[in-house]
Structure 1
């Protein structure tokens, strides 16, 4: 058996004894070592996280994966509810649907956490080289979903914040143009960003069985754009909420006459829409907040998590990259390992080697709980009522009310008589004559010579007119001086008696 340590001290392995192709070569953690008169490259064994963190770090990261497995059905339930139930139960909107799709991808990405559990990929290509998207298919798939989900969540948070700002601050009604622009930006920017990242940077196993973006150019093509959109969305959201607070405080001190009256909340005729009082503006804004507070809360949670993730990973990349300053900071730890010390013995001398274990686990757990917040805020109680209603009446198509003229199934030939019929199957329109004034007595009756209604089937008795106590009008019989034969229909704008 070949000794892969070569001339390297302690736990280090000599890089020359390994092939220079296969896996992610840039992921090796190697440092030059002077052996006699020659410089050789010595590397820490893969995976690096096992040397930096505790022995059970992999199992603790796997717990987050199983949390995502439990939360994934909740996200699927939201999407299926949007697709199956009517909007009166779900209040679905394309912003909520696309936002939920992005969260389902981002749950590290919900599927990206689950894929490693089923595939059980090997993190290392060899003893010093981690696997990347070219050497492991599950790494490529899970890492791509993670990056695409991160892009989608941030972009749709930004779009939703813009929509909320336009509705609240500028009273803009969002139409089809905004919708199609949102679709283009919400799916186009993440797709372009993913293609650029995979081409220039790529993904590999960094810690645990999760593939993340590599260090080289990762700040330029992923973290910097993500942080720019997230910061812009957060600033716009805070500005909108500050405007809401400003209008609310103004409404408390608004003493205008138009707001003290019991009105419908609309501006009076003497005031224009631009001079509407602060209290009226707050009432309109309050209605918008009641409809969108769930989306606002979820956007704030997502943006807070994304900024926290970005800060932690940027710090990890900066402190793990093999620069002279990082090597100097980790010299005590590396020297302890070179002298033959174990991981437990050298743990106390770790300095400047990325975030501590608690911070790293906090990132992983928060990332897996994104879907839970989506379910907690978007799963309305009416959704469950809609599913109960759907299960009770079944999935059969419910017939809505239509007039008898529109469907022959609703024609009851026994209930009334037609004046004329074209044939036995096709009844003519219901040209029914009204009784003339001469036939109207002291009370109103629904009876007429033709057509006649079957009183036994439909009414059972004559419909009598009951005069209200405070009414000063009612049907009166014709006077004795007026003869029914002298009645002229044209003088009353009524239709003639004869057909």
Structure 2
């Protein structure tokens, strides 16, 4: 601790020569006097530029982040424990929730650790001198990067499916995992190496000004801008389809809004396209709302912090900008309340700061409200107070009965990609094993004529017990299915009565004369 009794600066300022070069020295707010000494504002700067209620707002926002973390953990645990028919989990939702969890940890870690923001009386801590600063800054940047990337990927997935009829599958999933986590990790590495973190705005560490535009803010805003462009392009396409459907008077679309076969999706009429788009929007409106909310929060936070950062750096380069405020503090002997009006042009107003912090803390709550479902509550009830009883399962009677049940379920129509339990990605909006109008009930392998001629390929070893008729040999025998409860019935033996068919018994049919006028008697 420096000996402040030798301080030659007017109160409340402190002479910088009394301290060493530890901590984040660039974070000091100092001004050289004509006498040759340099006087600095005591740390932290926010205590002098904002009223005492600023700390209360920051603490309240951190507690909101705690609630958001609890909501994110609840979603992740539900997706991991409960069956998919209860949660409708999807990797886009899981990864986005994890990203928001990381970003919220950047605000909650300082709340739990209560770190000392200042290395000494005039110098804030950096990531090299305070572990809590390093952890909170890393989680904040990683969560912000990952959140922007995963909402971008979610908007891109929806755009490809609605506007281009591209069914995203496993390749898109692996691309999303690589981009959604690889780019944020690189962004954190660049931020640590080229900028670093320090206590500059409350009890959470933020990126330093040096190189911050190049290694964080500009790339982050580029992806955020692309997300907005893609989202509004999707909205524009939906509006175009809706307007085209209003002018479509084709009678062919009055019956069913679905294509008659799989490849007809490219030749749908405007009304069919509108019904399809409307159905996808109804199933994906939660994801669309999440994209807009998180992108708005990130852009809002980026603009506010960059403005605050540039203002502080401008004061460091030209202290005359803050002359009125500095002289006011000198005249009032450090009574900051009397000088807050002079500090207003130098900092972001407190309501704006509070709005940014609360919006960032509420992201987890928004995820729980929009991605959570009431079926999760019933699923936990069944898991904790009783097993999933078989009486809740519908008994399978026939294929027709199952299709009737699916017609009543609005989730049975979905144009998005959904694969079975083989490990392929499954979309959150569709129940497993649902037969959709755009996908066949079963895909049978194509067989060449040569394979049909080969009796070995028609053996039960090839077709798991199913027998295939020999179309090129003798007449095939009819085999009754084991569990057939519907027609057709096995063919009955039909006897030839020559008298009823007006044929001469015992005579060759080729030599028989048939009266054409008597065929109506058959």
- Taking structure 1 as the reference length, what is the TM-score of the superposition? 0.75
Q: Which residue of 1 aligns with 2:4?
A: 3
Q: Which residue of 1 aligns with 2:166?
A: 172
User: Please, which of 104, 121, 125 is the counterpart of residue 127 of structure 1?
Assistant: 121
Q: Which residue of 1 aligns with 2:373?
A: 380
Q: 1:208 to 1:275 in 2, by over 3 A?
A: same
- Looking at structure 2, the residues matched to 130 and 223 of structure 1 have their Cα atoms a distance apart, in angstroms, of 22
2:360 matches 1:367: yes
Q: Secondary structure at the match of 2:266?
A: coil
- Looking at structure 1, the residues matched to 27 and 199 of structure 2 have their Cα atoms a distance apart, in angstroms, of 9
Instruction: Supply the RMSD in Å over aligned alpha carbons.
Output: 3.1
2:44 matches 1:47: yes
Q: Which residue of 2 aligns with 1:344?
A: 337
Greater relative CO (CA pairs within 8 A, separation 6+)? 2
User: Please, which of 301, 323, 327 is the counterpart of residue 331 of structure 1?
Assistant: 323
- Kept in 2, the 8 Å contact 1:329–1:352? The answer is no
Q: Which residue of 2 aligns with 1:70?
A: 67
Q: Secondary structure at the match of 2:33?
A: strand
Q: Comparing both structures, which one devotes a greater share of its residues to helix?
A: 2
- Looking at structure 1, the residues matched to 160 and 133 of structure 2 have their Cα atoms a distance apart, in angstroms, of 40
2:306 matches 1:305: no
5 Å matches for 1:448-487? none
Q: Which residue of 2 aligns with 1:29?
A: 29
Q: Secondary structure at the match of 1:34?
A: coil
Q: Secondary structure at the match of 1:157?
A: helix
Q: CA deviation at 1:361?
A: 1.2
- Kept in 2, the 8 Å contact 1:143–1:211? The answer is yes
Q: Which residue of 2 aligns with 1:91?
A: 88
Q: 1:120 to 1:236 in 2, by over 3 A?
A: same
Q: Which residue of 2 aligns with 1:293?
A: 285
Q: Which residue of 1 aligns with 2:267?
A: 275
2:208 matches 1:214: yes
- Looking at structure 1, the residues matched to 349 and 58 of structure 2 have their Cα atoms a distance apart, in angstroms, of 14
- Looking at structure 2, the residues matched to 264 and 220 of structure 1 have their Cα atoms a distance apart, in angstroms, of 49
Q: CA deviation at 1:325?
A: 7.1
Q: CA deviation at 1:200?
A: 0.9
Q: Which residue of 2 aligns with 1:184?
A: 178
- Kept in 2, the 8 Å contact 1:5–1:11? The answer is no
- Looking at structure 2, the residues matched to 474 and 189 of structure 1 have their Cα atoms a distance apart, in angstroms, of 64
User: Please, which of 188, 198, 219 is the counterpart of residue 204 of structure 1?
Assistant: 198
- Kept in 2, the 8 Å contact 1:5–1:12? The answer is no
- Looking at structure 2, the residues matched to 474 and 174 of structure 1 have their Cα atoms a distance apart, in angstroms, of 45
- Looking at structure 1, the residues matched to 316 and 28 of structure 2 have their Cα atoms a distance apart, in angstroms, of 16
- Looking at structure 2, the residues matched to 396 and 83 of structure 1 have their Cα atoms a distance apart, in angstroms, of 20
Q: 1:384 to 1:351 in 2, by over 3 A?
A: closer
**Greater Cα shift, 155-164 or 113-122:** 113-122
- Looking at structure 1, the residues matched to 32 and 287 of structure 2 have their Cα atoms a distance apart, in angstroms, of 53
Q: 1:265 to 1:395 in 2, by over 3 A?
A: closer
- Kept in 2, the 8 Å contact 1:132–1:204? The answer is yes
- Higher Cα Rg, which structure: 1
- Looking at structure 1, the residues matched to 18 and 491 of structure 2 have their Cα atoms a distance apart, in angstroms, of 111
- Taking structure 2 as the reference length, what is the TM-score of the superposition? 0.72
Q: Secondary structure at the match of 1:31?
A: strand
Q: Which residue of 1 aligns with 2:144?
A: 150
Q: CA deviation at 1:114?
A: 2.3
- Looking at structure 1, the residues matched to 314 and 38 of structure 2 have their Cα atoms a distance apart, in angstroms, of 13
* Structure 2: segments with no counterpart, 5+ residues: 396-484, 498-522
Q: 1:45 to 1:397 in 2, by over 3 A?
A: farther
- Kept in 1, the 8 Å contact 2:72–2:368? The answer is yes
- Looking at structure 1, the residues matched to 25 and 390 of structure 2 have their Cα atoms a distance apart, in angstroms, of 60
Q: CA deviation at 1:207?
A: 2.7
2:254 matches 1:253: no
- Kept in 2, the 8 Å contact 1:78–1:375? The answer is yes
- Kept in 2, the 8 Å contact 1:4–1:13? The answer is no
- Looking at structure 2, the residues matched to 359 and 179 of structure 1 have their Cα atoms a distance apart, in angstroms, of 38
Q: Secondary structure at the match of 2:199?
A: strand
- Kept in 1, the 8 Å contact 2:30–2:316? The answer is no
Q: 1:79 to 1:49 in 2, by over 3 A?
A: same
Q: 1:395 to 1:266 in 2, by over 3 A?
A: closer
- Kept in 2, the 8 Å contact 1:46–1:127? The answer is yes
- Kept in 2, the 8 Å contact 1:102–1:152? The answer is yes
Q: Secondary structure at the match of 2:89?
A: coil
